[in-house]
Structure 1
């Protein structure tokens, strides 16, 4: 590459830039327009049909919101089902200690509450499915 020297005045005025702009720009413009014209005039192959599918917005939003609400509690339900056995076991075993202390009424209440809680949590996914089916039928 050739080293070019210039004065400060020439650099500040920008006159050196005018010397470098010598070139055949007409050919570049001709190539650019020859490429752009067919692309502009072509019909888009990927465009969808302009006809809209007749779906009510309220029906679509209602279905989507029902689906979102139906699955919003799934992680919480799965966690409760997984933890129901260990927690109910601790409650029942703790209630058995009340038998040893002579408080049988409190022991039976604790055992019943632990067992009932376990059973209700285990059938909760089935109850949620029934409620979802009833809601979608209405």
Structure 2
């Protein structure tokens, strides 16, 4: 028996039923009854109130979060530029390698250190903001 070699013809419906469907009526009596009782149930439930929490802690957290989000576009741009600039530095170091190997090695080290610092800069900034929130 083959999957695509079937001789059965299955009729699903008529074309007129697809083009002019009859609207199906759904019983909504239970839904309406439940929907009308919900406001009454919620209005009769007791409302709880609590004392206001300390404002200074949440304000400091909000300020620190807004500082981090304010610098996000700048850090994203710098991280995006880090790859091509590091590639250019390594290419230049590769060309300098033919003339002066110690200078080329120093260029590669500086490019690597700069790239790593740029990549961990957001982490350092978040850590610095978290430290200053405590003061």
TM-score (norm 2): 0.52
Matched, 1:108 2:105: yes
Structure 1 counterpart of 2:124, from 97, 122, 127 = 127
Larger Cα-atom Rg: 1
Give the SS at the match of 1:73. helix
The number of residue pairs the alignment matches comes to 89
Cα shift readout 1:51-76 (whole Å, capped 9, x = no counterpart): xx978887776555443323221101
TM-score (norm 1): 0.51
Greater relative contact order (Cα 8 A, min sep 6): structure 1 or 2?
2
Structure 1 unpaired stretches of 5+: 1-52
**Aligned-residue CA RMSD in angstroms?**
2.9
**Which residue of the partner structure matches residue 85 of structure 2?**
87
Shift of residue 127, structure 1, vs aligned partner = 0.9
Residue 94 of structure 2 contacts residue 104 of structure 2 at CA under 8 Å; is this kept in 1?
yes
Cα shift readout 1:75-109 (whole Å, capped 9, x = no counterpart): 01011112212210110111110011x21222112
Cα separation, 1, equivalents of 2:63 and 2:121: 21
Structure 2 unpaired stretches of 5+: 1-50
**Which residue of the partner structure matches residue 26 of structure 1?**
none
Cα separation, 1, equivalents of 2:54 and 2:134: 18
More helix per residue: 1 or 2? 1
